[in-house]
Amino acid sequence: MTGVASIGECMIELKQAQRGLYSRGYGGDTLNTSVYLARLGVEVDYITALGDDSLSDEMIAGWAAEGVGTKRVMRLPGKLPGIYLIETDEKGERRFFHWRENSAARRLLDLPETGDILNSLASYDLVYLSAITLSLYSADGRGRLFAALRAARERGTRVAFDTNFRARGWPDLEIARTVYRDAFAAADMALASTEDLLPLFAGESNEGLMARISSPEAVLKLSKPASIVRFEGASHEVTAEPVAAPVVDTTAAGDSFAAAYLAARLQGADPIDAARAGHLLAGVVVCHPGAIIPRSAMPATMSSTRTHKGSA
């Protein structure tokens, strides 16, 4: 087994520029994590569906240039990627607007190739997905995915679940709570935050939120610059180093944390050191606009020397 399979959706990104204009890029939580994983020297394939349009072509070329594998990207004739727009306030906090109801990625688990895609998960060291990923699919689709994850784990693949919560994706919170419970049960590692979990479990303490995570290894990012890491039955608080520059955009803070944490774990670090790595990269990312920072801005101590081959 080699590398990471990251499952999700990448969309066209529109972000504020000057004089009421917007600049166009692309992004999505699991795609952002995949790019940072590749930059950190981890072999990663992105699993999603796109259209047969020029924007989808541009995405695939960009992913390959970043070293993200595209061999498991399905191309659906006549379909298009979704779109999201980011607004940021003076503190760098972001607000998202989505147009994704008919995006190609929503059909990933309903294709003739779906069985082959799900069977391939057992060929990876780690499968990474988020709650946003799960919100894309029907109940039947999620059931097929969870069954494939259980089968992959039986063959030695680890599963990491990121709790990224977007209320628009979960109009019924009771369904969301059930899906999160099933995802925690299917995962070896849970990457959570109080920001994600409190809308589902209002009023819970940090300890109460951790108790709801059944995954054997869990990280809970706090409202302050710190996280609680639980593994081998014990919990530890990890404090982040102060951010050196002004915060301008918190987009992808969690995605980059996840990448650095998972890369460190795959490379043999313990969960505490992995959380420190996550805080370090996230602290750099929030000082730049947009989800993906310039490669030159990556922390020097995290630079990868791996040669990227792009798609295979």
What are the residue numbers of the active site? 255
Chain position carrying tokens 């995570």: 213
Return d(Cα 83, Cα 13) in angstroms, integer: 6
Return d(Cα 46, Cα 87) in angstroms, integer: 26
Backbone angles phi, psi at 260, to 5 degrees: -65, -40
Ranges of H-type helices in the chain? 29-39, 54-65, 114-120, 131-135, 139-154, 173-186, 194-197, 206-211, 253-266, 271-285
Return d(Cα 184, Cα 166) in angstroms, integer: 17
* 203: DSSP letter: T
β partners of residue 146: none
User: Other C-beta atoms within 10 Å of 250: how many?
Assistant: 15
Return d(Cα 45, Cα 8) in angstroms, integer: 11
